Chains A and B, each alone.
Chain A
Amino acid sequence: MRRLGRAALLLVLSATTCAVADVGDFTPAELSRIAAHGPWPLSWTPDPGNRVSGNAAAIRLGRDLFFEPRLSANRRVACASCHDPAKGFQDGRITARGLVTGTRNTPGLLNVRQQRWFGWDGGHDNLWSASLRPILDAKEMGGSAARAARVLRSRTALDCHYRQAFGKPPAAGDPELLVNIAKAIAAWQETLISPPSPFDEFRDALTRGDTRAAAAYPAAAQRGLRLFLGRGQCATCHAGPLFTNGEFGDIGIPFFIQPEGVDPGRQGGIKRLLANFYNLLGAHNDDATRNNATATRHLRPEHRNFGEFKVPSLRNLTLTAPYMHNGSLATLREVARHYSELDEDRLHADGERILKPLKLSPQEVDDLVAFLESLSPSKALPAPHAPPTVDACHAP
């Protein structure tokens, strides 16, 4: 059935190509590849590793805790301090600033439910574990179980939603407390889904054969899309509706960190993940089948992982500058130029063979940027950052 469906889609797309000259002369192969970047948004399923995934009380609790600075050691740093909703849940800084300034660029959180690995180094295999780390990290929030329990008990709504979600009161001595908090924050983050972008509208229009609607997509973005799919081979890594394969790569970005040393990237991330008490192989994974831990079970660090960083989603880029794991590229134009002038000697001769300097003309740089910009929503994001709730809550 799936094959038949694809064939039918290709037929529609091919017919569209013939009929529409002003939406670019995309080949059937290109149209098929365009179609593979949708539909958007993806269907949502609960996280089997998080028993409160999709739970309304947990989502409410998670949202309130996300904006709660009292979880931090100085009572001034919340998750939202770095993950600003107005900036695609990023902070606009080169590197994150919690209690101290870090060494990596803050990743945005939109569509985070769709990810497999979390963090630039993939040091986490689940969203709740990734949410717990900054709360406890002395450089980020410096929190603790005792502090978290105090915060939960300090406000009726927090206390009540915690009881609703987890069926018991928040107690500092409960070894589950921090994990539960993290799972609630994860449950809320799972709801952060970006609206469709101009590209999605174009892709959907092509798919249904609506040439008039497709023609609204700017010509520069169409040319950039062709580069993206063709000569750039960008879609090899930036694949699918999320525009990422969810894995890691070395694209020649230096990874020294000041004052001395390096950020080992994925190589360190794998080691960190496998040593993490809160990974999916551990007791806190709520998926009794452990099917969600298969990828983690087979992880092995390899030499190539040293200096690899996560292939980021390309959605919502206009909201999340600067770019790269260390925030070293300020604009999308700089990103395009990086790939244009790629230093091949920074890549292993038998490693990232797909990467070659694209040698883009100024026009091509503009086109690629126009395409990348078209992956951000045309409409304003909904405002999830309302003040902490004081809704009535009836604990069990």
Chain B
Amino acid sequence: MKPHNRIAAEYTRLTRALRLASVFAALSGALLALPTAAADEPRMPIFDAHVHYSHDAWERTPPKVAIAILRKAGLKRAMVSSSSDEGTQKLYAEAPDLVVPSLRPYRKRGEIATWVRDESVIPHLEDRLKKYRYAAIGEFHVYGADADLPVVRRTVQLAKQYKLWLHLHGDSEAIERVLVQDPEARILWAHSGFDRPEAVRAMLKKHHTLYADLAYRNDHATNGKIDPAWREAFMEFPDRFLVGTDTFTPERWYYIAEHADWSRGWLADLPPDIAARIAWRNGETLFASMMATRQ
């Protein structure tokens, strides 16, 4: 058995044991008295593809504390971006084994809606890309025809030049426009565009370089059971999905562990190998290995 399959199988056994324990505990009225042996079992690793560490986060949760949160949550790796990029660099310096840096076009909070028309973003990106190593540019927000604005076009060019991913938060139209600019652009579609599973599948089928994170969405699973339409998407494209928390406010750093556990819960409803891919292997394959080649 391959290592990842072994972990997935162990994880499946663990979740089954936990479910049985939960039923027993509920019946006996001892909800909190889960067997300690089960609690000591290894957890499914998680590659969290959607973490931000902006200035208000690092002021409140310094890098050492932040890294401790990630490790305690059982994260294998986290793709981190921040406004400004300083937060990402602080975190990467603290734990290069854990942090996969991504470069946002935002120098401070408040540029989400304005950056696409702000020419000064370009030298910011160029300077940072020369100075630091990244796996991606993003997460950035762009919708519809704005994807063809010069600042966005240059961003797409820079991603191509530096062989980086684009972590794009936007609609399918923006994705299409970017892929016209560079048909081989590799895009991680933030939140799967908040689109319906059928629409996400159609986009993944159409664009082989498009991947999707599931951050800040709940519709794919309820109480650990996967929605049928989403299940079809996961089964059809097991190598194209990743999970993510989206720490868009500093407080959400304290949700990372909760989110990881929630993800483990619904992933257990998938075949172990597919669960492991979405949980962490896809992230490792796509991003972490990239960083390794840039050492």
CB contacts (< 8 Å) of B28 on chain A: these are none
**Does B285 reach chain A (CB closer than 8 Å)?**
no
**Does A345 reach chain B (CB closer than 8 Å)?**
yes
Instruction: Tell me, in angstroms, the Cα distance from A303 to B219 when the chains sit together.
Output: 11
- Smallest beta-carbon distance A288→chain B, Å: 23
- Smallest beta-carbon distance A85→chain B, Å: 34
Known A-B contacts A255-B251, A262-B251; A348 and B246 likewise in contact (beta carbons under 8 Å): yes
Selected from A254, A255, A303, A350, the residue in CB contact (under 8 A) with B218 is A303
Selected from B83, B216, B251, the residue in CB contact (under 8 A) with A254 is B251
Instruction: Tell me the residues in window 290-313 of chain A with beta carbons closer than 8 Å to chain B beta carbons.
Output: 300, 302-304, 306-307
**Does A44 reach chain B (CB closer than 8 Å)?**
no
**Does B141 reach chain A (CB closer than 8 Å)?**
yes
CB contacts (< 8 Å) of A275 on chain B: these are 31
Known A-B contacts A300-B223, A345-B112, A349-B112; A307 and B251 likewise in contact (beta carbons under 8 Å): yes
**Does B194 reach chain A (CB closer than 8 Å)?**
yes
A residues contacting B by CB (< 8 A) are 254-256, 261-262, 264, 267, 275, 300, 302-304, 306-307, 343-346, 348-351
- Cβ B218 vs Cβ A300 within 8 A: yes
Known A-B contacts A345-B110, A349-B112; A256 and B250 likewise in contact (beta carbons under 8 Å): yes
CB contacts (< 8 Å) of A344 on chain B: these are 110, 112
Known A-B contacts A300-B218, A350-B191; A345 and B251 likewise in contact (beta carbons under 8 Å): no
Determine, out of B120-128, B204-212, B252-260, the stretch whose residues face the partner at the interface.
Answer: B252-260
Known A-B contacts A303-B259, A348-B216, A350-B216; A256 and B246 likewise in contact (beta carbons under 8 Å): no
Closest 6 CB pairs of A and B: A345-B109, A302-B218, A262-B254, A262-B251, A306-B255, A303-B216
Selected from B109, B222, B258, the residue in CB contact (under 8 A) with A300 is B222
Produce 1/0 per residue, B168-190, CB < 8 A to A. Answer: 01000000000000000000000
Instruction: Tell me, in angstroms, the Cα distance from A245 to B222 when the chains sit together.
Output: 24
CB contacts (< 8 Å) of B191 on chain A: these are 350
- Smallest beta-carbon distance B107→chain A, Å: 13
Selected from A261, A302, A307, A349, the residue in CB contact (under 8 A) with B249 is A307
Known A-B contacts A303-B259, A348-B216; A261 and B112 likewise in contact (beta carbons under 8 Å): no
- Smallest beta-carbon distance B167→chain A, Å: 13
- Smallest beta-carbon distance B57→chain A, Å: 11
Instruction: Tell me the residues in window 126-183 of chain B with beta carbons closer than 8 Å to chain A beta carbons.
Output: 141, 169
CB contacts (< 8 Å) of B24 on chain A: these are none
Instruction: Tell me, in angstroms, the Cα distance from A275 to B248 when the chains sit together.
Output: 28
Produce 1/0 per residue, B191-219, CB < 8 A to A. Answer: 10010000000000000000000001110
- Smallest beta-carbon distance B179→chain A, Å: 22
Instruction: Tell me, in angstroms, the Cα distance from A351 to B194 when the chains sit together.
Output: 11
CB contacts (< 8 Å) of A254 on chain B: these are 249, 251
**Does B60 reach chain A (CB closer than 8 Å)?**
yes
Instruction: Tell me, in angstroms, the Cα distance from A254 to B258 when the chains sit together.
Output: 19
CB contacts (< 8 Å) of B248 on chain A: these are 345-346, 348-349
Using CB atoms, name the residue of chain B closest to A350: B194
Seed contacts A300-B222, A303-B255; 14 additional CB < 8 Å A-B pairs: A261-B254, A264-B255, A267-B255, A300-B218, A303-B216, A303-B246, A304-B218, A306-B252, A306-B258, A307-B251, A307-B252, A345-B110, A345-B112, A349-B169
Selected from A256, A261, A349, the residue in CB contact (under 8 A) with B141 is A349
A-B residue pairs in contact (CB < 8 Å), sample of 27: A255-B251, A256-B60, A256-B250, A256-B251, A261-B254, A262-B254, A264-B254, A300-B218, A300-B222, A300-B223, A303-B218, A303-B245, A304-B216, A306-B255, A306-B258, A307-B249, A307-B251, A307-B252, A343-B109, A345-B83, A345-B109, A345-B112, A349-B112, A349-B141, A349-B169, A350-B216, A351-B216
Instruction: Tell me, in angstroms, the Cα distance from A255 to B110 when the chains sit together.
Output: 20
Using CB atoms, name the residue of chain A closest to B251: A262
Residue of B217, B222, B249 contacting most chain A CB atoms (<10 Å): B249
Instruction: Tell me, in angstroms, the Cα distance from A255 to B246 when the chains sit together.
Output: 17
Instruction: Tell me, in angstroms, the Cα distance from A350 to B83 when the chains sit together.
Output: 18
- Smallest beta-carbon distance B157→chain A, Å: 25
CB contacts (< 8 Å) of A300 on chain B: these are 218, 222-223
- Smallest beta-carbon distance B31→chain A, Å: 6
Instruction: Tell me, in angstroms, the Cα distance from A349 to B216 when the chains sit together.
Output: 11
Residue of A256, A300, A345 contacting most chain B CB atoms (<10 Å): A345
Instruction: Tell me the residues in window 256-295 of chain B with beta carbons closer than 8 Å to chain A beta carbons.
Output: 258-259
Instruction: Tell me, in angstroms, the Cα distance from A256 to B216 when the chains sit together.
Output: 20
Instruction: Tell me, in angstroms, the Cα distance from A307 to B217 when the chains sit together.
Output: 16
CB contacts (< 8 Å) of A303 on chain B: these are 216-218, 245-246, 255, 259
Instruction: Tell me the residues in window 51-106 of chain B with beta carbons closer than 8 Å to chain A beta carbons.
Output: 60, 83
Instruction: Tell me, in angstroms, the Cα distance from A77 to B121 when the chains sit together.
Output: 58
- Smallest beta-carbon distance A254→chain B, Å: 7
Instruction: Tell me, in angstroms, the Cα distance from A9 to B245 when the chains sit together.
Output: 49
Using CB atoms, name the residue of chain A closest to B252: A306
CB contacts (< 8 Å) of A255 on chain B: these are 251
Instruction: Tell me, in angstroms, the Cα distance from A336 to B59 when the chains sit together.
Output: 27
CB contacts (< 8 Å) of A348 on chain B: these are 216, 246, 248
Instruction: Tell me, in angstroms, the Cα distance from A345 to B248 when the chains sit together.
Output: 8
Instruction: Tell me, in angstroms, the Cα distance from A343 to B250 when the chains sit together.
Output: 13
Instruction: Tell me, in angstroms, the Cα distance from A351 to B169 when the chains sit together.
Output: 13
CB contacts (< 8 Å) of B169 on chain A: these are 349
